Structure 1
Amino acid sequence: MKQIALPFDELNPGRMDDCLIVTPANAIAFAALGNSSQWPGHCALLVGPARSGKTLMARYFAAQGGKVLDDADQISAEELFHQWNAAKNAGEVLLLVSGHAPGEWNIELPDLRSRIGAAQLLEIGEPDDELVEQLLLKFLRDRGTSIGPEALAFVVRRIERSYQAVEELAKQANALALAEGSAITLPLVRRLIAA
């Protein structure tokens, strides 16, 4: 696992804690962002579940000089085709970001459908154990709290493998610990997981 500090000082003033945690769940997608000259048609699609770090990766890519279209599946086919051509004519590398695989997009323009089908597909998987652990620690740290090793190990072994579940557990654990005036302990997380 490595944690990569991203250069967002200019993009997000006052936020010094933006970081991307790289584990096998997202390492291939992240590495491909640094190899955009090899993308077919100089375009890639970055897809993954909600809260999986797509926006952080896209911001990192944009900071390196790439062009990003977020929620690309929500852009009209005509506009997307126009943006694609504009990026190509300007010699820019284009990253399309979506929470949905390209097969789920409603693309009626045959030329656009074929271009998207030929683009490099970068997929972020559901979080692995290492990423669950690091995200939970980060989400709790962001809330000014922490979790002990025994409670952390318990959560990592039992939590649903989704980014939203990890973030929700961090919110609930912090709220319950504050309400009860206690630390985030093994008994506390046992109750949350059981619920």
Structure 2
Amino acid sequence: MTTQLSFDLPVRPALGREDFFVSPANAFAVAMIENWRHWAGRKLALIGPAGSGKTHLAHVWAAAVQARIVRAVDLTEADIPDLARTPIVVEDIPAIAGHPEAEKALFHLHNLVLAEGHSLLVTADKPVLAWGLRLPDLLSRMQGTQAATLDQPDDQLLAAIIAKMFADRQVAPTAGTIPYMVLHMERSFDAARDLVTRIDRAALDGKRPVNRGLAADIMAQTPMLPYLDNLDP
């Protein structure tokens, strides 16, 4: 029987539309990205927990409309009028909460890009009212922005996410590994990312194949995680 070993290769995320798996947990957000011409006020807030696919969908949209992508924390050093010349993605808005200059920069970018007739996509890990924005005018603009939420994954999406995480690491788990992980793990993006990282590292360190046995070993090493309640006796 052929054994698939893991090698220490660079992680290269695949960010094309064809690489994004659609399930009920993210179908609305995907539909909103694909129908961007109908966004109310030409803007959208993409909201979801870490690992939910916000950045992936942002890159899909940016490629489709030739938008530029900027982190919110970098806006104070950016040329705002220049950014407003094209559609724009601003990632991780909550990171600038309470920073007056950054909030002002985002407020001006919001107004300029829309005045130029372009579209604006912003991302965050929680709803607008939890962002902690202090600038009243910016907060009102963000509250008036239509939102699309990416929910925690169902089993189908969780399996697809794990498969993509392994593929990004250029790792090919044996048949049955991913279904076993999905059956026994916590249903969350954070848990999937943590588990794939630990399995990959253990495979590299121990020169072991990425299979069900390795997955079970790694999951059993962290007894406080919720998914262990579902492990086979």
Q: After the TM superposition, which residues 15-164 of structure 1 pair with which residues of structure 2 at under 5 Å, given as runs?
A: 17-18=14-15, 19-65=19-65, 66-75=87-96, 76-164=102-190
Cα distance in 2 between the residues matched to 1:177 and 1:43 = 44
Instruction: Determine the structure 2 residue equivalent to 1:8.
Output: none
Q: What one-letter code is carried by the residue in structure 2 that aligns with 1:169? A: L
Structure 1 portions without partners, runs of 5+:
1-14
Instruction: Determine the structure 1 residue equivalent to 2:7.
Output: none
Return the TM-score normalized by structure 2: 0.69
8 Å Cα contact 1:39/1:119 also seen in 2 = no
Name the CA shift for 1:40/1:29 in 2 (closer, same or farther; >3 Å). Answer: same
Instruction: Using the TM superposition, give the Cα deviation of residue 137 of structure 1 relative to its aligned residue in structure 2, in angstroms.
Output: 1.9
- SS of the aligned residue for 1:161 comes to coil
Instruction: Determine the structure 2 residue equivalent to 1:166.
Output: 192
Task: Find the structure with the greater CA-based Rg.
Answer: 2
Cα distance in 2 between the residues matched to 1:169 and 1:160 = 10
| Of 93-102 and 141-150, the range deviating more from structure 2 | 141-150
Instruction: Determine the structure 2 residue equivalent to 1:7.
Output: none
**Per-residue CA shift, 1:49-90, capped at 9, x if unaligned?**
112221121122122223211122334332221111101110
**Per-residue CA shift, 1:29-55, capped at 9, x if unaligned?**
111012223322221111111122211
**Per-residue CA shift, 1:134-183, capped at 9, x if unaligned?**
22222223333322333322211121222232122222222323444432
Return the TM-score normalized by structure 1: 0.81
- SS of the aligned residue for 1:64 comes to helix
Q: Which has the higher contact order (CA 8 A, sep 6+)?
A: 2
Q: What one-letter code is carried by the residue in structure 1 that aligns with 2:31? A: A
Moved over 4 A (4+): none
- SS of the aligned residue for 1:175 comes to helix
8 Å Cα contact 2:13/2:168 also seen in 1 = no
Cα distance in 1 between the residues matched to 2:202 and 2:124 = 34
Aligned residues with identical type, % of pairs:
31
Alignment size in residue pairs: 181
Instruction: Using the TM superposition, give the Cα deviation of residue 21 of structure 1 relative to its aligned residue in structure 2, in angstroms.
Output: 2.4
Q: What one-letter code is carried by the residue in structure 1 that aligns with 2:38? A: Q
Name the CA shift for 1:24/1:183 in 2 (closer, same or farther; >3 Å). Answer: same
Structure 2 portions without partners, runs of 5+:
1-11, 66-86, 97-101, 222-233
Instruction: Determine the structure 2 residue equivalent to 1:4.
Output: none
Cα distance in 2 between the residues matched to 1:109 and 1:182 = 53
